[in-house]
Amino acid sequence: MKKLVLFSLIALLAVSGAFAKGGGDKSGTLTVGATPVPHAELLNLVKADLASQGITLVVREFNDYVQPNEALIAGDLDANFFQHIPYLESNDNWKAKLSSAFGVHVEPLGLYSQKYKTVNDLPNGASIAIPNDPTNGGRALLLLQAKGLITLKANAGLTATPQDVSGNPKNYRFTELEAAQLPRALGDVDAAIINGNYALEAGLNPVRDSLIIEGADSPYVNIVTVQKGKEKDARIVALEKALKSQKVKDYIQATYDGGVVAVF
């Protein structure tokens, strides 16, 4: 009897160990934090695809660029989908604990105005609102420089700030605001540089409505981010396959009219 009990216990421990090592098991829940447009929309599009593999995809929506990373570090999320690598690496804590699993699309940054039809119409001393986080603020200024509107110091880099503007022929005045607030601020400034997802949420079409826009070759690819070491989690691998499918590519092209560009 004792031998039987001992054998049963050993067998139970062996089975438990097998489950503990079951990295290949795709089943379970996958909780992903995302900003609403287009990230949450794309995730919701592939819910059924993952469900067919035994994965329940839970999408938690956020309306800022800080909480999704903090929630991921805290373990409240399995992944998030809203940012690009320069933004992830702008914070030492995020950079140390989080990693890109894969890239999906680019949301071209654009300059918008409710008062002026072309960038040449912007008056001397025009007020331009830009994102206040280091990477998107720098990205906005780099867009203006790429279009010949300002010049930045040679060493400004990706995290350039208004203090790095060395040439400003039309004396633009820069206001730094949280990225999510920029569409609402359009009526208070002459123009604003808005991230693609927030532009779309506000009913702006980046291709038709922007005065200037990043090219489709922008290096700011939006990524699915996970805790370091979990890039090959079976659920994340399944999510990558689902998000990088022809179905999603077709949806992006049909829905966002150039405001979102797939990179696969």
Q: Please name each of the domains of the chain with its CATH number.
A: 26-107+219-262 (3.40.190.10), 110-213 (3.40.190.10)
Q: Which residues contact 135 (CB under 8 A, 6 or more apart)?
A: 84, 86, 87, 90, 158, 159
Average pLDDT for 137-143: 95
Tell which residue, 76, 85, 87, has the closest CA to residue 104.
Answer: 85
Q: Which residues contact 113 (CB under 8 A, 6 or more apart)?
A: 122, 186, 190, 191, 192, 211
Tell which residue, 25, 26, 54, 55, has the closest CA to residue 43.
Answer: 55
pLDDT tens column, 198-211: 999 999 989 899 99
pLDDT tens column, 93-139: 999 999 999 999 999 999 999 999 999 999 999 999 999 998 899 99
* Reported confidence tier of residue 185, pLDDT bands at 50, 70, 90: very high
% residues pLDDT > 70 (the chain): 89
Give the model's pLDDT for residue 32.
98
Query: How high is the mean pLDDT of the chain?
Result: 90
Q: How far does Cα 108 stand from its chain's mean position?
A: 12
Q: How far does Cα 9 stand from its chain's mean position?
A: 48
Give the model's pLDDT for residue 259.
87
pTM, to two decimals: 0.77
Average pLDDT for 163-183: 97
Average pLDDT for 234-243: 98
Distance CA 106, CA 222 (A): 6
From residue 167, give the alpha-carbon distance in Å to each of 88, 156, 191. Answer: 29, 13, 19
pLDDT tens column, 59-85: 999 999 999 999 999 999 999 999 999
User: Contact, 126 vs 145, CB < 8 A?
Assistant: no
Residue 19 has pLDDT above 80, yes or no: no
* Reported confidence tier of residue 182, pLDDT bands at 50, 70, 90: very high
Residue 158 has pLDDT above 50, yes or no: yes
Residue 26 has pLDDT above 90, yes or no: no
Q: How far does Cα 154 stand from its chain's mean position?
A: 27
Which amino acid does the sequence have at 72?
A: L
